[in-house]
Structures are given as structure tokens and as C-alpha cells.
Amino acid sequence: MARPALTEDEISDFRERLCEVATRRFVEFGDAGVSLRGLALELGCSPTTPYRYFRDKDEILAAVRARAFDRLAHFAAPFAGPDGDPLSQLEALGFAYLRFAREEPHAYRMAFELSQPEASAYPELLQSRQKAWQMIYRAVRRAVVAGALAGDANVVSHLFWAGMHGLAALHLGGQLESLPIEKLQKPMVRALLRGALPSVGPTTGDTPDA
Amino acid sequence: MARPALTEDEISDFRERLCEVATRRFVEFGDAGVSLRGLALELGCSPTTPYRYFRDKDEILAAVRARAFDRLAHFAAPFAGPDGDPLSQLEALGFAYLRFAREEPHAYRMAFELSQPEASAYPELLQSRQKAWQMIYRAVRRAVVAGALAGDANVVSHLFWAGMHGLAALHLGGQLESLPIEKLQKPMVRALLRGALPSVGPTTGDTPDA
DNA sequence: GTAAAAAATTGACAGTGTTCATTCAATGCG
DNA sequence: CGCATTGAATGAACACTGTCAATTTTTTAC
């Protein structure tokens, strides 16, 4: 004899719609656009309505970030597949990663720069990040098991990710003025891959000369 | 017949003191600690007094960031000198860069993560960043002119910086869980340097096989 | 139609950056 | 010394923000 609670679908629908609006407003107005009142204005609801669907604003940001990671994973997926020469595929994946950062800078910034000290408290976010991360890891591991790269796949893939992210972060931070990222991405990918070529030597440097 | 205006020294003294307090409060309380009212509490002045010494809070953040870059430059300076083997020095510089990010994470985060869309509007900030950047550039260029590295010094130094920053950013962002940064820094430095060794080939890859 | 329960809204609170009118303080002159 | 003048510092206020509590609206079953 009472009003029924919200369906699981209704909840996820509202959350999805709010995340889309938040993303668009982030692109248009920056950080200032994702205020609860700003979102409510565009959603046509009260500023406190989202509190029934999210615990607080941090959970909203985590959901938005998770969707940004999802798009990154989706963007990189075609180049992480099991077909083609492993090294060429890995190189293409690096280019795709940086193309995503260039073409969807807002998504990349939301994924990596939205300040969230306690990001590990949101399983959805961790899972989406893991999904994006595995695009890189699988491609690297495939090259390793195929003998095209040497060293620990976990180490090499982390190096690969860090190199790509370093370029993307400096680019998006406007710190690459004298040299555009287009001139740096190929040398970076090549350097990181060459550093793990089996003919050159293992990546876990144990040559005692430091 | 009037009160004399503030001395240049008085102005810079107050600015310096405010920046120190802001830095300490950022370390202790995070972003929430650098509010105007929080700073005023510790400075023993009114929340609006800083407005005579800074245009707005963005200018305060720019000054804080500039001092963080200064510390990074000071930290890396001993390894960018003209003495010693160029490659060993460059490697040591890379380690020093990452040690700074590890030992002074707050300074590094302030330098690179404090959200400032219009950072290029603050000459002091640009100059301090340039100072830190030149620690890297000079070390790389020295290795290039000595014949220890090949390729354009500008390209190689940007790659070096991006690689270091990528590791530092992922580390500080808590994204390196399965693998600590200590196990990654040496492979990263070696990979980047090996990618520019003259015996291996030029860094600007022009081998047409992609 | 009415009772009950869930959803949504309104109003308020403490906090933020910032502006402006006001007060305080320090100086040179008579 | 007293005082006018001028810069420095302040307090009050405004428009925001995220968030909670009380209230109102909506939707169902009897």
C-alpha cells in the first residue's frame, strides 16, 4: 500500500543521464559547470535530487571518471586485439592512446586530472580503469610471449603507459610549447619499444655500472 | 604628509611568507587548507589583506607553483652540472627527478597538478618552470654534443621529461599499485637513453614499416 | 477516498572567493 | 603637539558552493 521503490533501471538511467550532462557541461564550462545547481538546471530537477542516486559529489565525479576510462578503453580496443604483428599493433596502440588524449582532451583530463584523493573507494572507477589498463597490458604481453619483446610484461607495460601518459599530460597541461606532441609520439613509442627488444637486452637492467 | 607606500621588500616579504604558509597548509590539510580564510587565520591578518599583495587566488596559486618548480630545479641542479660522464649524469638526473617526486610529493603535485587553466599568464611561474626544464635540457644537450646521445637535443629532452613525469604522475596518482615506482625508474631511464644511443640509430624514426 | 511510503523539493547552514565602504595607522607640516 | 592626508587593513556583504533536515508532492494498495 505504498509507492514502489525506484527500479534498478530507473536508477541507472538517471545516473547515466546525469553523467552525460556533467560531461557536456565539463566540456563547455569547465570545472565550474559541474556544480550540483548547474547540473540540476540542465536536468530539470532540484539541486538535491541527485543525492538520492549518488552519495555525494565525489561519487558523481567517480562515475564521470569511470565513463571517461571506458571511452579510453573503447578507443584503444581495436589496437589491442589478437590480430596482426604484435609490435606494429603495440605501436598503433600507443598512437591511438595519444590520439584519444588529443581528440577527447576533456575525457582524458576527467579520467586523470579530476582531483580525487580517495579514488580507490569507488569500485566502478577502479574497474573501468582496469579495463583501460588491460588494453595496454594484453598488447604488451602478447608481444612478449611472441618473443618480439623481452623483459617482464608487467614492467614493460607500465613503462609504456607511463611514457604515453607523460606525453599526454604535458601536452594537455600546455607544457609542450616549443615542440608539438605530434613530433614526440613516434620517437617515444619507438624508444620504449626498442628499450625492450630482445636483441638489445632485458629491460630489468642488471648491468652493474651505476 | 602621508603614509608612505609599501616598500618593494615589504611586498615581497609578505608574498613570501604567505607562500610558505600556503605550502605548509597544503601539505597538512590539502586543497582545503589554502582557502583565503585559512591562510588569514595562520597569517594573523584579515581574509582580504592578501588582495593587496596578489590580484586574486589564482595569482597566489601561481606563486606557490613557481616556488615548487624552483625547488625542483634546485633539487636537480647538482646532477645537471658540466662535470662527469654525460650519460651517467643524465641517468642520475632522472633518478633525482623521481626522488624529488617521491620525497616532496606535495611540491611536485603543486607544480604539476594545481588546476590552473591560464597558467601562461604568470611570468614568474613560466620562468620557474623554464628553470627546472633547463636542468633537463642542458644535461641532454651536453650528452648530445659529446656524442653520447644521438638525435635532436630538444626532442630527446622532451622525451626524457615526459617519461619521468609520466612515472611521477602515475605514482602520485596512486595508479601504480602492482608495481612500485622503484622498480620502474631504472628501466625507464635506461629505455629512454638507449632509444637515443647513436649506435642504435636516430631517434626520429624514419624506418617505413608502420 | 484515504493511508502509507517513497520521491522530490524547499529552506537553511557553513563554507568559499571577492568587492566595497569604512576604519586604522603612519607620516609631514604648521 | 595637533591635524590633515593618504595608504593599509578590516568588516560587512554578495553570490556562489556542497549538503542536511524538514516539508511537500506523488504514487500505490486497500
CA distance B98 to B106: 13
Nearest CA in chain A to B176: A158
Pairwise pLDDT comparison (B196 vs A142), residue with the higher score: A142
pLDDT of amino acid B192: 93
Distance, CA of A51 to C1' of C6, in Å: 14
CA distance A163 to A157: 10
CA distance A205 to B153: 24
Q: Phi and psi of B42, rounded to 5°?
A: -75, -30
pLDDT of amino acid B43: 97
Quote the cell numbers at residue A25: 557541461
- Per-residue pLDDT tens over the stretch B3-40: 777 888 889 999 999 999 999 999 999 888 899 999 99
pTM for this entry? 0.88
CA distance B143 to B193: 10
Please write down the HEC assignment for all residues of A58-121: HHHHHHHHHHHHHHHHHHHHHHCCCCCCHHHHHHHHHHHHHHHHHHCHHHHHHHHHCCCCCHHH
Give the mean pLDDT of B160-173: 95
pLDDT of amino acid A148: 93
Using a CB–CB cutoff of 8 Å, tell me whether B173 touches chain A: yes
Query: Could you check: is the Cβ of residue A3 within 7 Å of any atom of nucleic acid strand C?
Result: yes
Nearest to B179 among A155, A200, A205 (CB): A155
Query: Could you check: is the Cβ of residue A4 within 7 Å of any atom of nucleic acid strand C?
Result: yes
Please write down the HEC assignment for all residues of B67-86: HHHHHHHHHHHHHCCCCCCH
Distance, CA of A3 to C1' of C3, in Å: 12
Best residue in A109, A190, A193 to probe B by mutation, most B CBs within 10 Å? A190
Query: Contacts of residue B111 in chain A, CB cutoff 8 Å?
Result: none
Q: What do you get for the CA distance between the two ends of chain A, in Å?
A: 77
Q: How many CB pairs under 8 A join A and B?
A: 130
CA distance A109 to A61: 12
Query: Could you check: is the Cβ of residue B33 within 7 Å of any atom of nucleic acid strand C?
Result: no
> B77-102 burial by CB neighbour count: b if 16+ within 10 A, else e?
eebbeeeeebbebbbbbbebbbebbe
pLDDT of amino acid A199: 60
- The residue among B142, B87, B57, B84 whose CA lies nearest residue B65 is B57
Give the mean pLDDT of B167-195: 90
> B104-129 burial by CB neighbour count: b if 16+ within 10 A, else e?
beebbbbbbbbebeebeebebbbebb
Q: Where are the alpha helices (DSSP H) in A77-103?
A: 86-103
CA distance B87 to A114: 37
- Which residues have a Cβ under 8 Å from the Cβ of A19 and sit 6 or more positions away? A60, A63, A64, A67
Using a CB–CB cutoff of 8 Å, tell me whether B175 touches chain A: yes
For the ranges A145-149, B97-101, B115-119, the lowest mean pLDDT is seen at B115-119
Quote the cell numbers at residue B78: 647538482
Compute the mean pLDDT over every residue in chain B, rounded to the nearest whole number.
90
Other residues' Cβ atoms within 10 Å of the Cβ of residue B145:
11
Give nearest nucleotide to B50 (CA–C1'). Answer: D9
Check whether B207 has a pLDDT greater than 60: no
- The residue among B191, B57, B60, B128 whose CA lies nearest residue A166 is B191
For the ranges A74-78, B24-28, B120-124, B160-164, the lowest mean pLDDT is seen at B120-124
CA distance A58 to A64: 10
Nearest CA in chain B to A192: B191
Give the mean pLDDT of B62-90: 95
Query: Contacts of residue A192 in chain B, CB cutoff 8 Å?
Result: 191-192, 195
pLDDT by residue for chain A (210 residues), tens digit each?
Answer: 678 888 999 999 999 999 999 999 999 998 888 999 999 999 999 999 999 999 999 999 999 999 999 999 999 999 998 889 999 999 999 999 999 999 999 999 999 888 777 777 899 999 999 999 999 999 999 999 999 999 999 999 999 999 999 999 999 988 887 899 999 999 999 999 987 777 644 444 444 433
